Amino acid sequence: MCQNLLVSGGSLRVHCCVSLVKYVCQPVAAAGGAPVIVVVELVVEFASVGQVLGSPVGVGEVVVEPGSTIEEAHRVVAAERALVVDNLWEAESQPLQTRPVEAGFAGSQSPPPQHRRLGALSQDPRLTQDTRFDPQTVYNSPAAQQLHVPLAGASGGATRRRPNSSGGSPINPQNVRPIDQLNPYASPWTIKAVVDGKGEMRFWNKPNSQGNLFSCTLKDDSGSIRATAFKVDADRLYAELQVGKTYIITRGTIKPTNKRYDDTGHDHEITFARDTSVQEVESGSFDVEYDFRLIASLGSCAVNATVDVIGVAVAIGDLVVIMSRQTPGREVKKRELTLLDNSNASILVTLWGGQADSFQQVEFGAPRPVVCVRNAKVSVWNGCSLSTASESDVSMNPDLAEAHSLRSWYDVVGREVVPQNMSAGGAGLAGPRGLNTDNRMSFAAALAAGLPQGGERGVVHYNNVATITFLKRDGTVAYPSCPVSKKKLVEVGPNQWSCEGTGNVYAQPTWRFCMSVKVEDSTGFTWVTAFDDAAMMILGVDAKRVMDLKVGSDEDAAQGAELAAVFDNALGAQYVLRCVLKEETYQEKTQLKTSVLAVEQMDYVAESKNILAAFYKLYEAGELKL
Q: Where are the alpha helices (DSSP H) in 427-472?
A: 443-449
Verify that 87 and 6 share a domain, yes or no: yes
Verify that 590 and 447 share a domain, yes or no: yes
Taking only the tens place, the pLDDT of each residue in 235-244 is: 999 989 988 8
Q: At which of 248, 281, 314 does a domain end?
A: 281
Give first-to-last CA distance, the chain, whole Å.
80
Q: What angle is formed at CA 66 by the lines to CA 62 and CA 68, rounded to 5 degrees?
A: 80
| Gap between the Cα atoms of 196 and 225, Å rounded | 10
Verify that 111 and 216 share a domain, yes or no: no
Q: At which of 252, 281, 310 does a domain end?
A: 281
- Whether 318 maps to a domain, the answer reads yes
Verify that 342 and 364 share a domain, yes or no: yes
Is the preceding peptide bond at 419 cis, omega within 30 degrees of 0?
A: no
Is residue 554 pLDDT above 50, yes or no?
A: yes
| Gap between the Cα atoms of 30 and 372, Å rounded | 49
- Whether 435 maps to a domain, the answer reads no
- Whether 287 maps to a domain, the answer reads no
Verify that 504 and 397 share a domain, yes or no: no
- Whether 528 maps to a domain, the answer reads yes
pLDDT score recorded for residue 203: 84
Name the residue among 377, 319, 390 with its Cα closest to residue 348: 377
Verify that 120 and 180 share a domain, yes or no: no
Task: Give the domain extent around 23.
Answer: 2-145
Share of the chain above pLDDT 70, in %: 71
Verify that 249 and 328 share a domain, yes or no: no
Sign, CA dihedral 532-533-534-535, equals positive
Verify that 472 and 595 share a domain, yes or no: yes
State mean pLDDT over 188-203: 86
Name the residue among 547, 585, 549, 574 with its Cα closest to residue 564: 549
The CATH number linked to 538 is 2.40.50.140
Per-chain mean pLDDT for the chain: 75
Q: Quick check: helix, strand or coil at residue 230?
A: strand
Verify that 386 and 509 share a domain, yes or no: no
- Whether 177 maps to a domain, the answer reads yes
The H or E element that residue 526 is part of is strand 524-531
The total number of structural domains in the chain stands at 4
- Whether 53 maps to a domain, the answer reads yes
- Whether 43 maps to a domain, the answer reads yes
Verify that 90 and 116 share a domain, yes or no: yes
Verify that 10 and 139 share a domain, yes or no: yes
Taking only the tens place, the pLDDT of each residue in 509-547 is: 889 999 999 999 999 999 999 988 889 889 989 899 999
Verify that 503 and 567 share a domain, yes or no: yes
pTM for this model (two decimals): 0.46
- Whether 70 maps to a domain, the answer reads yes
Taking only the tens place, the pLDDT of each residue in 218-261 is: 988 888 899 999 999 999 999 899 888 899 999 899 999 887 77
What is the signed CA dihedral for 75, 76, 82, 88, rounded to 10 degrees?
A: -160
Share of the chain above pLDDT 90, in %: 18
Q: At which of 226, 253, 281 does a domain end?
A: 281
